[in-house]
Amino acid sequence: MKKTRSTAFQSSPNIDPAKVPPVEAKQRVELIRVQMILDLGTVDPAKYPLPQTRLTLEFLRDYVHLRPRTNTISAIACIRNALAYATYTFFQNDAEKLEKELIKNPRPSEADDDMNCAVAYVRFFCEWLLDNCLDDMEFMVKNLDKSAIDRPRMVSSTKFVRTSYTEAVAILDEALKERQFENIVEWGIDLASDHES
């Protein structure tokens, strides 16, 4: 085959192989060698930018159509899908858990049951992640977060500490000496998200 010119990185080739009937095989055709390569032209880098380096997450924010083609987003999608199925599996095995989790205003008399269900749910999630998504989690450790496997392992194996509302307010009062919260801290108020950290 004669080479006419060098092909650029962002070019669009059409490759036409020689197709012959296979000898004693089940497929219809066999591709032997390339007969012709037609250069259809270059791809406009403004419309379809592909750097030769690895695509960063910041780059993918601007080009949404490229996200599914990356290993990072693929691993995240697999993990997310597995955890959605884990939720289904967890509540499928025990319908009482689902009923208690869906109550919007749990009764104080059922607080221990609700906390037990929440702890079991979080532990099940972490164990499911380690049992069913280990390849994707190893990818995360290698490329994004070094503790991606250690944290779920730690959460699934350690005891959850339970604190009463009064104890939580006292702890937050002590924390006020070191930092300021956006929302006030006093007994009787609902705790806000800035009180969690």
Regarding whether 187 and 120 lie in a shared domain, the answer is no
- Threshold 0.75, pTM exceeds: no
- Using CA atoms, how far apart are residues 3 and 34, in angstroms rounded to an integer? 13
Contact 60/73 with Cβ under 8 angstroms? yes
Regarding whether 115 and 187 lie in a shared domain, the answer is no
Domain housing 190: 163-196
User: How many domains are there within the chain?
Assistant: 2
Query: Does 102 fall in a domain?
Result: yes
Token digits of residue 188? 């009787």
Chain segment 66-105, per-residue pLDDT in tens = 888 888 999 999 999 999 999 889 888 766 655 555 555 6
2: pLDDT strictly greater than 70: no
Contact 182/172 with Cβ under 8 angstroms? no
pLDDT at 100 (0 to 100): 55
Regarding whether 89 and 148 lie in a shared domain, the answer is yes
| pLDDT top residue among 97 and 191 | 191
**Bridge partner list, 11:** 42
